[in-house]
Amino acid sequence: MDTLLLNALNGLSWGMLLFLIAVGLTTVFGVMGILNFAHGSLFMLGAYLCMQSMQLFDSFWFGLLVGPLGVAALGVLVERFLLRKIYSRDVTFQLLLTFALLLILDDGVRMIWGSGYHVVEPPVLLSGVMTIAGQDYPIYRFFLIVVGPLIGGLLWAFFHFTRWGKVVRAAAFDNIMAEGVGINVPRIYASVFALGAWLAALGGGLAAPQQSLNPAMGEKIIIESFIVVVVGGMGSFPGAFVGALLLGLLDSFGTVFAGRMQMAIPYLLLAVILLVKPTGLFRKGV
Amino acid sequence: MSLSMRPHLIGPFLLLLVLLFAPLLLPVYWIMILTEILIMGLLAVSFNLLLGYTGLLSFGHGAFFGLGAYTCALLLQAGHQNLFVLLGAGMLVALLAALLIGFFSVRLDEIFFAMITLGMGMLFFSIAHNWLAVTGGSDGLPVFALPVLNLAGREFTFYAPNSMYYLVFTTVLAGIVLLWLVVHSPFGLILRALRENKQRVAFIGGNIQLLRIVAFAVSGSFAGLAGVLFCLFNSMATPEFMHWSFSAKPVIMSIIGGTGVFLGPLFGAAIFFGLEQLIIHFTENWMFFLGMVLIPIVLFFPQGVFGTLRNRFFKQG
């Protein structure tokens, strides 16, 4: 019973983190049609920038505010000067361009901060443990479990109830028509990519106190996020949520029933979903 | 059949001469680099049968390379030293795996095909990484004895870099000639038709799935052949061969060299390793510079470096 609860909580907190990464990835794909290989690197860069600004301002919360904004600004530049030139090109070139970004960001971070591990302490408010059903569990992970759906809900409300969100959905639905009725589609694309980068970096900042930082952390999470996005349905918002929860729980419970082979489960899930329902669990729609 | 009547054969002929005599002129270190280029070139050319000729972007090609390498390492550990058995078995195992993965993957297109091949490749990576008893886990499988070749009453071994080079050169040459024959056969023509418009191929009675599976299997088996060679060259089979970041290498090489030219990916491999050697003289952050080089290539050389230059000077399609 105890291990069941523990695994469920671990799965939930990991799933919520995955959701933050995947929701940015799926939004960028849904609107711009680009599957961003560098999304995990933006997550990793976000973690490092958050760590740096946390040290600079001596405040976890301030770091969490500043770091992702820096990554979002980088996102604007990347969209404006690189991605914009290849929207009409073959998917191979899009994947390869974002892969090149991944190489640059991963090695760039290694050049600046070194390839060793860095540790970020959770804020005082959220440090320590909480006792639940006779088990001690870190408060910070509860915080992650709460903050994931919160941000997801805010994003959903943004896309459905604000004028700006509706404009983005219009551009995703039919960018030529949107352009025709006077929507500035290039600006929408830039801001959506910046939003995706911001979400990835926010995920990185939030992940920092839970896992140690190293330049390879992006490469590890990008494949899992790909799986979440494909399983949920590429471009689908609720799909990313359900997919992330599913994968998070499979990751934590997988060790119980599959031992070392747990590593193979996400790929099996990906293959089965692609074969049975290539559009993912949820239909496409931003 | 004289060369002056077939100007397009001059290039490959010169290349063949250079490669044949390279060990006489190059220091040992560069012979080993050249060996690696040839092996990765074969992997990239086999991969390009899918990307360039069939229009399928596989992100799991490392799996077949790795299967070839593991087959070779396991057979050598079991005491099988016949070179032809090793090469044949590596290709066969890769072929069977490619038939299996291809059967599931080819019904998908574009990004979905890339994702399922990536996932399948990583599935094999997870197995290689965790099945300690057979694969040695993350340490990989070392190879202690290299095969021997009995030919015309003489016994050849491959411990010297030069003899390893000629083994690789001969095998890669045979592989590339076979792939060339595939590409220029009626089957190769149908693959190109598939790439351009698969609906029309279906309308004239082509079985799209079957054609794609065969292309996938042929491509995979030659990747397995390259894997066997790399295992012999490297004296090691490791799970990294099957990781997606390794599978990205033939993609990069093909794009650098040009997917529309048969030997483009081989040149891509040469540029890739040449650049690596150049850059690691100055800095250990080779990946950073690879990214910096890739971006302008993706943006400004839509047919790859070799393809774009060739089109510029020879005005071929």
pLDDT at B314: 66
CB within 8 Å: A96 and B302: no
Q: How would residue A71 be classed by pLDDT, with cut points 50, 70 and 90?
A: very high
pLDDT at B286 over 80: yes
Round to whole Å and give the CA distance between B112 and B115. 5
Q: How would residue A278 be classed by pLDDT, with cut points 50, 70 and 90?
A: confident
Closest CA in chain B for residue A261: B130
Q: What is the mean pLDDT of residues A202-209?
A: 90
pLDDT at B257: 87
| Percent over 90 (pLDDT), chain B | 41
pLDDT at B7: 63
pLDDT at B40: 95
3-state secondary structure (DSSP) of residue B82: strand
Name chain A contacts of B245, Cβ cutoff 8 Å.
219
Give the C-alpha distances (Å, rounded to integers) separating B229 from A166, B36, B42, B282, B313: 56, 9, 10, 30, 35
Best interface-test mutation with A: which of B57, B59, B106, B116 has the largest number of A CBs within 10 A? Answer: B116
| Percent over 70 (pLDDT), chain B | 96
| Percent over 70 (pLDDT), chain A | 98
Burial class (CB in 10 A: 0-12, 13-18, 19+), B80: middle
Q: What is the mean pLDDT of residues B261-288?
A: 88
Task: State the alpha helices, DSSP H only, in B51-185.
Answer: 62-77, 83-105, 110-130, 132-135, 161-183
The distance of A186 to chain B (nearest Cα, Å) reads 18
CB within 8 Å: B291 and A227: no
Residues 6 or more apart in contact with residue A144 via CB below 8 angstroms: A13, A16, A17, A206, A210
DSSP notation for A214-234: -TTHHHHHHHHHHHHHHHH-T
Instruction: Give this complex's ipTM.
Output: 0.84
Round to whole Å and give the CA distance between A188 and A171. 8
CB within 8 Å: A264 and B110: no
Round to whole Å and give the CA distance between A92 and A86. 10
pLDDT at A284: 52
> For every residue of B22-81, which 3-state class applies, written as one string?
HHHHCCHHHHHHHHHHHHHHHHHHHHHHHHHHHCCCCCCCHHHHHHHHHHHHHHHHCCCC
DSSP element (H, E) containing B286: helix B286-300
Name chain A contacts of B127, Cβ cutoff 8 Å.
261, 264
Burial class (CB in 10 A: 0-12, 13-18, 19+), B82: middle
Whether chain B has a CB inside 8 Å of the CB on A163: the answer is no
Name chain B contacts of A95, Cβ cutoff 8 Å.
57, 59, 111, 114, 251
Its sign, for the CA torsion B32, B34, B38, B40, is positive
The whole-model pTM stands at 0.88
B223-269 pLDDT, tens per residue?
A: 999 999 999 999 889 999 999 989 999 999 998 888 888 888 999 99
Structure tokens at B54: 């069939």
Q: How would residue A286 be classed by pLDDT, with cut points 50, 70 and 90?
A: very low
Round to whole Å and give the CA distance between B238 and B141. 6
CB within 8 Å: B291 and A95: no
Partner residues linked to A118 by β-bridges = A213
3-state secondary structure (DSSP) of residue A239: helix
Name chain B contacts of A278, Cβ cutoff 8 Å.
108, 112
**Tokens 């990751």 — which residue?**
A251
pLDDT at A1 over 60: no
pLDDT at A250: 87
A145-168 pLDDT, tens per residue?
A: 889 889 988 988 888 888 888 888
Best interface-test mutation with A: which of B279, B299, B303, B305 has the largest number of A CBs within 10 A? Answer: B299
Best interface-test mutation with B: which of A103, A115, A247 has the largest number of B CBs within 10 A? Answer: A103
pLDDT at B317: 42
Structure tokens at B166: 């000629």
Q: What is the mean pLDDT of residues A238-255?
A: 87
pLDDT at A58: 82
Q: How would residue B1 be classed by pLDDT, with cut points 50, 70 and 90?
A: very low
Q: How would residue B4 be classed by pLDDT, with cut points 50, 70 and 90?
A: low
A82-139 pLDDT, tens per residue?
A: 888 888 888 888 888 999 999 999 999 988 888 888 888 787 777 777 777 777 788 8
